Structure 1
Amino acid sequence: MQWSRLLSRRRLGTQAQPQVSSLRTDFQRDFDRIVFSSAFRRMQDKTQVFPLSRVDYIRTRLTHSLEASSIGRSLGTLVGEQVIRRHGLERFEASDFGDICAAACLAHDIGNPPFGHSGEDAIRHWARTADYGRRRVEVLRGSEQEDFLAFEGNAQGFRILTRLQNPDNPGGLQLTCATLAAFSKYPRESFLGGGRYPGVSARKHGFVAEDRELFADVAEAVGLLRRDPLRAIWYRHPLAFLVEAADDISYRVIDIEDGFRLGYLKLDEVLELYTSALPAADDWERRLRHMGDAKGKVEFLRAKVINAAVGQVVACFMDNEQAMLDGRFDQSLLEQLPARHSLGRLIDVAKERIYNAPEVVGIQTAGFQVIGELLESFSQVLDDLAEHGAGANARSRMTVNLISDQFIGPGGVPSGNTYTRLLRLSDYVAGMTDSYAVSLYKKITGISLPGG
């Protein structure tokens, strides 16, 4: 792969030529388009770790994405400086690398359904075990079936950026191909015909069957290397490794801080976890002794750990840069760092003490019921209308009014294709906020009635 092509400014869905020079570069425009999208705003009411939290301080998907974007900008800019020197890229600035990573990080969770990762599990569970859902998904084949059995928020994010947001535009938000490729941590379709491919980028899928050609267009524009001539699977864009690292640093380090603020971890435990990830030759110990506020100590060390991790990631990236360009490196950068064991402890403690806290698990379990019921009920309604039209039963003709027209079909008529109907429905449910999903569930089940 070649950097001059990997940094393509071509926008998906338009033939307009990239602007040669501007006070706002094409990659900065990508960032702005994501910020002003309704899908991005909805993340303020989507779970990061703590569903439906009443504590304003606790991070949502929105604040997590902003923090990851800040880390991604730093990583990209620092890497960009060295890549430009190494390859003599005169047409690019280090800030271009930073802006691409910042935009991709900003959108990295935009496809997550309600209730965080448990929401993804809930959609998969519905497709595999629900009475009606399982029967409908069983008639599908290949990637069309696997898109639901292995529902993936990353693939849903690609749909939002390239199709669902601004649906009247070819290419959706019409982001640059460089940003879309850096966003795509898993450049493969969901079904690979039994083939097994090593490496972190092949663990999940990054686009659904309907979007295969859209991603192929992105891959061609930036020159990604194809891994199999018969299957839709490519090697990662090198900057996708930085996007992944920014996300990993953000949630590993910051979830510990949130756990402390909610009382799941004591101050001494947090200080020990953070300081173990810091280099000894630093002035943090002296500064820490002069701080009396517990909250301030945690915030100070959190910033120091992030800064130390950023430096190590940049060094690791540059050590493996040529291997990435050749398709020979396909591992998580954080797993290669000198501080990998101490950073690994952060996630281990979070899993044990935070992610499995009774309050968290209780609401996530309820999320299975909410998402499963919405999918089960609405799939029956759409099937009834697709098969019987005006002759559909009264319940279906009434309930369909709860679904936005965009997710039904042209003219409010469901598609005659089962895959398309299910895909539109999963688009609708996955796009909901936590609160809206709960509210709609109460309505269709009769739990909450006006004036009741």
Structure 2
Amino acid sequence: MNWEQLLSLKRFGDTNKRLRKEQDETRLGFEVDYDRIIFSSEFRSLQDKTQVVPLSKTDFVHTRLTHSLEVSVVGRSLGRQVGKQLLKKHPHLTNIHGYQFNDFGAIVAAAALAHDIGNPPFGHSGEKAIGAYFKEGQGQHLKKELSEKEYQDFCDFEGNANGFKILTESREGREGGLRLSYATLGAFMKYPKASLPKKPTSHIADKKYGFFQSEVETFSAIADELGLLVRDKDEKRYARHPLAYLVEAADDICYTIIDFEDGINLGLIEEEYALEYLIKLVKNTINTKKYNALKTTQDRVSYLRALAVGTLIDEAVEIFMKNEEKILAGEFETGLLDVCRYQAQISDIIDISVKNVYQSAEVVNKEIAGYKVLDGLLNVLVKVAVNSYFGKLSNYDKLIIKVLPETVKLANVSLYENIMAICLHISKLSDTNAMLLFHRLGGNSI
């Protein structure tokens, strides 16, 4: 892979290519990507979607929206630092093509901002609930009506693939989705493969999948434009865009450190015990006098969190640059932080978060509610999608269709597309709206 192709400013939905040196310096193409994401309705719904702790009334606990904003900030720093070093190493990118280090920061920030845009309500339990409906629930009968690959898309419903659909799917008045640059779409794609075949490998890019069957052609076109290496042509399995490693690192840094911070501030993790683990991570950079002057738990945790994030950003940049050739060759098989010198400290922090936060009663109760709500929505709405395809709509089905937004198109052309339209609609709901719709469809509210 080469950086000239990987930094493509071409917008999805356009036929013409754009050159970096032709851009208006006051509002660069990659920065427009960030703006389009942040003004989208799908991004706004993240303000009422669970990060870890559900619907918390505490102002210092993160939602999907605040998490995404913080990941984008960390991503921007990672991109800029890597960009500075890459332009020194490859000066022709500036001298001939006009790229600046801020371009790398803008691409990673935009992709990081969108990294959770496809996640359904109720966090990762929402993904599992959708999958369970098709694998174990009333959706099992659809296996015989769909192709193996189509059915697998639903059984392993994946927020990353759903996010790619949201960013690229055309609809009336919005050709090309959000019309983001190919570079940003490439950096967004952490898992450049389809849901099948699974064929588990040790390569980080094979951990999950990144596009549904409905987006196979879309992804292929983007991958070809960017010059992504083909790891298996028949299986549509590609090497990652190099900047996807930075998007992943930004997310890893934030959920490792900031979920831990939330746990401390909520009292789920004891301060004295927790701070000891953070100090191990930042002991070489801590200002003891400044730290001892801080009077509240929140201030002490905030100070250590800032140092920890800075430490891990520097570490991720160093690992990326050390392995740039392997990354460009598609041969770097792990996440950046998986091979960092602080891996043991990171593992300790994650273990505590899993035990004290992710498995806390509040979080488990959220997951139980999420399963019940999403299963109930799917039971009603998927049946409408199926009946619409087979031309057997009941009067109740017709009433349900009237309350669905105009963007949910149901027809008798494709059963897969009908069901996917329902899953896409549900995935865009906030936690609160999912619960309201669940009660409305169940006749418990008007």
Aligned to 2:54: 51
Shift of 1:283: 4.1
Equivalent AA in structure 2 for residue 232 of structure 1: K
Does residue 402 of structure 1 match 2:407?
A: no
Equivalent AA in structure 2 for residue 444 of structure 1: L
SS at match of 2:220: helix
User: What CA deviation, in whole Å up to 9, does each residue of 1:361-384 have, x standing for no partner?
Assistant: 012111101001101111112222
Shift of 1:84: 0.8
Match of 2:416 among 404, 419, 430: 419
Q: Is the 8 A contact 2:391 2:412 kept in 1?
A: no
Q: Is the 8 A contact 1:136 1:418 kept in 2?
A: no
Q: Distance in 2 between matches of 1:253 and 1:14?
A: 39
Q: Distance in 2 between matches of 1:195 and 1:265?
A: 38
Identical positions, percent = 37
Q: Distance in 2 between matches of 1:290 and 1:83?
A: 40
Aligned to 1:256: 260
Equivalent AA in structure 2 for residue 171 of structure 1: G
User: What CA deviation, in whole Å up to 9, does each residue of 1:277-315 have, x standing for no partner?
Assistant: 1143x3422321122222111100000000011111110
Equivalent AA in structure 2 for residue 78 of structure 1: Q
Aligned to 1:38: 41
SS at match of 2:195: coil
Shift of 1:428: 0.8
Equivalent AA in structure 1 for residue 148 of structure 2: G
Q: Distance in 2 between matches of 1:283 and 1:205?
A: 40
Aligned to 1:2: 2
SS at match of 1:227: strand
Match of 2:272 among 248, 255, 268: 268
Does residue 130 of structure 1 match 2:137?
A: yes
Match of 1:201 among 199, 205, 210: 205
Match of 1:221 among 221, 225, 230: 225
Equivalent AA in structure 1 for residue 202 of structure 2: P
SS at match of 1:276: helix
Does residue 380 of structure 1 match 2:377?
A: no
Q: Is the 8 A contact 1:45 1:61 kept in 2?
A: yes
Equivalent AA in structure 2 for residue 314 of structure 1: V
Distance 1:279 1:415, change over 3 A: farther
Shift of 1:266: 1.9
Q: Distance in 1 between matches of 2:173 and 2:129?
A: 30
Equivalent AA in structure 1 for residue 347 of structure 2: G
Q: Distance in 2 between matches of 1:137 and 1:374?
A: 19
Shift of 1:54: 2.2
Match of 1:443 among 401, 415, 440: 440
Q: Distance in 2 between matches of 1:31 and 1:271?
A: 35
Shift of 1:420: 1.1
Match of 1:76 among 69, 76, 79: 79
Q: Is the 8 A contact 1:137 1:148 kept in 2?
A: no
Distance 1:334 1:353, change over 3 A: same
Does residue 434 of structure 1 match 2:434?
A: no
Equivalent AA in structure 2 for residue 228 of structure 1: D
Equivalent AA in structure 2 for residue 376 of structure 1: N
Q: Distance in 1 between matches of 2:388 and 2:331?
A: 50
Does residue 139 of structure 1 match 2:141?
A: no
Aligned to 1:66: 69
SS at match of 2:391: helix
Shift of 1:196: 4.2
User: What CA deviation, in whole Å up to 9, does each residue of 1:316-372 have, x standing for no partner?
Assistant: 111111000011112111111111110111111110000111111012111101001
Equivalent AA in structure 2 for residue 188 of structure 1: K
The runs of 5 or more residues in structure 2 that have no matched partner are: none
Aligned to 1:178: 183
User: What CA deviation, in whole Å up to 9, does each residue of 1:103-141 have, x standing for no partner?
Assistant: 00000000000000000000000011112x111134322
Q: Is the 8 A contact 2:30 2:184 kept in 1?
A: yes
Match of 1:120 among 122, 127, 131: 127
Aligned to 1:244: 248
Q: Distance in 1 between matches of 2:381 and 2:208?
A: 27
Q: Distance in 2 between matches of 1:167 and 1:327?
A: 37
Q: Distance in 2 between matches of 1:284 and 1:272?
A: 15
Q: Is the 8 A contact 1:200 1:331 kept in 2?
A: yes
Equivalent AA in structure 2 for residue 434 of structure 1: D
Q: Distance in 2 between matches of 1:377 and 1:178?
A: 39
Does residue 189 of structure 1 match 2:197?
A: no
Q: Is the 8 A contact 1:385 1:397 kept in 2?
A: no
Q: Is the 8 A contact 2:168 2:176 kept in 1?
A: yes
Q: Distance in 1 between matches of 2:151 and 2:384?
A: 20
RMSD, matched Cα: 1.4
Q: Is the 8 A contact 2:114 2:163 kept in 1?
A: yes
Equivalent AA in structure 1 for residue 6 of structure 2: L
Q: Is the 8 A contact 1:264 1:353 kept in 2?
A: yes
Q: Is the 8 A contact 1:14 1:170 kept in 2?
A: no
Shift of 1:170: 3.0
- Pairs aligned (count): 439
SS at match of 2:338: helix
TM-score (norm 1): 0.94
Q: Distance in 2 between matches of 1:137 and 1:84?
A: 51
Equivalent AA in structure 2 for residue 368 of structure 1: Y
Aligned to 1:162: 168
Distance 1:364 1:373, change over 3 A: same
Q: Distance in 2 between matches of 1:197 and 1:308?
A: 30
Q: Distance in 1 between matches of 2:201 and 2:224?
A: 21
Q: Distance in 1 between matches of 2:391 and 2:109?
A: 48
